Amino acid sequence: MLPEKILDVLCCPLCLGKLIYDPQAETLTCKKCNVIYPVKNNIPILLIDEQLRRNRSNADR
In CATH terms, the fold of domain 4-60 is: N-terminal domain of TfIIb (2.20.25)
Within 10 Å of residue 51's Cβ, how many Cβ atoms?
A: 19
Q: For position 48, what pLDDT does the model report?
A: 83
Quick one: which H or E segment has residue 60?
helix 48-60
Give the SS3 label for residue 20.
strand
Contacts of 29 (CB under 8 A, 6+ apart): 19, 20, 22, 35, 36, 37
Helix (H, G, I), strand (E, B) or coil at 41: coil
pTM over 0.85: no
Q: Which amino acid is at 52?
A: L
What is residue 55's predicted lDDT score, i.e. its pLDDT?
A: 62
- Give 27 or 58, the one with higher predicted confidence: 27
**Could you read off the pLDDT of 3-51 as tens digits, one per residue?**
999 999 999 999 999 999 999 999 999 999 999 999 999 999 999 876 6
